[in-house]
Amino acid sequence: MEALAVRLSGLDSHAEGAIRVVAFYDTLMRRRVDLPALARASAGLAECAAGIRIHGTGQVVRAASDGTPLRGASAAASSTVQITLDEEEIGTVWLERPGPPVPLDEVLLDRLAIAAAAVLERYGPARTTMADPALVELAISADGDRAARARALRLLGFAASSPLCVTAVRSARPLDQIAGLVCPSRPVKSAPLDGVGVIMAAAIDPSGFPPDVRAGIGGGGSADQSWRQALIALRFTGPRRPVVHHDDLGAMALLAQIPVDAMRDNADVAAIARLSAEDLEILDAYCTTGSLRRAADVLHRHHSSIARRLDQIGRTLAADLTTPTGLTRARLALTAVHLLNN
């Protein structure tokens, strides 16, 4: 490895030095070095300590200019560059030069970051959140060859035989940011697919979703089954219930299997679909809380005015909403209308 080291102090021009640095790292990458060897070579080239830190694992590799491994906390970095893979920041590389950075430090660190990303991708799975959408689609597809799906899961970093929780997400937030919040401990993979975000992990923390995110969480099982459940759960989400776990739906999940035409033809569903936005909000609050007074509290209205509106809605539905049967009919029809709009 020492024979590869090109001393920066011997270079006559910045351009020539940059070319030599690029060639140096190209040679290292062809030799398939690991992170410790990469750190040692970089420290020898820069003639000062160099370090690599991987965020996902917390791994830190440092080496002195003579190639000796360094332990403990690093000294103050003179310059740093982020390691990125699949457009995600996965780590940091740095130099610990005693004085100010020299002109070629920026080139050296850029190439070191690229080389470190290549090492992680080669010996991975790479510790990134974002994944190839085509690979994710293959892993969660119910069609195709089982062996191909198993291979896709392995490439994503998951064992084909292990239960997997897949989540369907709709949000304007970056998908990798959401995945990091709901699954702070790796492995987790995510990708956009047909307008819906896909998050794959062994387990998901529902409390980690920001309030503006709609998420349907599938049950733990095979990836394709969990994805189907996640899409069903996503249809049940709304302003009052932005995150829905398929396991919590129970028999309600069966409503998602009813043909659209059959839903629209139902008299209760058709009647609720004709209600005004205000009446729909009142009915939704009442069905959600199961109480006239609690619905009034949620809507910040007087309970007597809510009672009058519910009485009018009940006449429209030809059902007494104060009875268990009437309330059940309203809940089912309201859910059906919600599914038709989602």
- Give the domain-ending residue among 220, 251, 282: 251
Q: Are residues 140 and 221 in the same domain?
A: yes
Cβ(29)–Cβ(4) below 8 Å: no
What is the reported pLDDT for 57?
66
**Domain-located, residue 128:** no
What is the reported pLDDT for 14?
66
**Domain-located, residue 275:** yes
Q: Are residues 247 and 263 in the same domain?
A: no
**Domain-located, residue 107:** yes
Question: ∠ CA(75), CA(78), CA(80), 5° rounding?
Answer: 100
Q: Are residues 164 and 217 in the same domain?
A: yes
Mean pLDDT of 38-66: 90
- Domain span at 61: 2-123
Q: Could you report the per-residue pLDDT of 171-196, keeping only the tens digit for each?
A: 999 998 899 889 876 678 999 999 99
- Give the domain-ending residue among 123, 157, 191: 123
Q: Are residues 168 and 73 in the same domain?
A: no
- Give the domain-ending residue among 123, 155, 173: 123
**Domain-located, residue 46:** yes
Q: Are residues 247 and 272 in the same domain?
A: no
Q: Are residues 105 and 175 in the same domain?
A: no
Q: Three-state SS for 341?
A: coil
Confidence category of residue 271, pLDDT binned at 50, 70, 90 = very high
Q: Are residues 99 and 145 in the same domain?
A: no
Q: What is d(CA 97, CA 76) in angstroms, rounded to the nearest whole number?
A: 9
Q: Are residues 161 and 71 in the same domain?
A: no
Question: ∠ CA(234), CA(236), CA(238), 5° rounding?
Answer: 95
Chain CA centroid to CA 73, Å: 31
**Domain-located, residue 24:** yes
The enclosing domain of 335 has a CATH number of 1.10.10
Confidence category of residue 4, pLDDT binned at 50, 70, 90 = very low
Q: What is d(CA 113, CA 82) in angstroms, rounded to the nearest whole number?
A: 7
What is the reported pLDDT for 186?
61
The enclosing domain of 213 has a CATH number of 3.30.70
Q: Are residues 159 and 102 in the same domain?
A: no
For the record, the structure tokens of 65 come out as: 């200019």
- CB count in 10 Å sphere of residue 31: 11
Of the chain, the percentage scoring pLDDT greater than 70 comes to: 91
Q: What is d(CA 179, CA 24) in angstroms, rounded to the nearest whole number?
A: 36
Across 159-168, 227-236, 279-288, the highest mean pLDDT is recorded for 227-236
Q: Could you report the per-residue pLDDT of 102-135, keeping only the tens digit for each?
A: 889 999 999 999 999 888 877 654 556 778 899 8
Question: What sign for the dihedral angle of Cα 26, 27, 28, 30?
Answer: positive
**Domain-located, residue 331:** yes
What is the reported pLDDT for 243?
97
Is the pLDDT assigned to residue 211 strictly greater than 50? yes
Q: What is d(CA 273, CA 157) in angstroms, rounded to the nearest whole number?
A: 45
**Domain-located, residue 180:** yes
The domain total for the chain is: 3
The enclosing domain of 38 has a CATH number of 3.30.450
Q: Are residues 178 and 287 in the same domain?
A: no
Q: Are residues 114 and 138 in the same domain?
A: no
Q: Torsion over CA of 107, 110, 111 and 113, rounded to 10 degrees?
A: 160
Please report which helix (H) or strand (E) contains residue 96, including its range.
Answer: strand 88-96
Query: Cβ contacts of residue 202 below 8 Å, gap of 6+?
Result: 158, 162, 163, 164, 165, 187, 220
Is the pLDDT assigned to residue 3 strictly greater than 50? no
Confidence category of residue 52, pLDDT binned at 50, 70, 90 = very high
Q: Are residues 298 and 242 in the same domain?
A: no
Q: Any alpha helices (H) in the chain, and if so which ranges?
A: 14-30, 35-46, 105-123, 133-140, 146-156, 175-182, 223-235, 246-249, 260-265, 267-273, 277-289, 292-299, 303-317, 324-340
Place of tokens 């309201």: 334
**Domain-located, residue 223:** yes
Give me the DSSP letters along 231-293. HHHHHT-BTTB-EEEHHHHGGGGGGGGS-HHHHHHSHHHHHHHTS-HHHHHHHHHHHHH--HH
Query: pTM value?
Result: 0.65
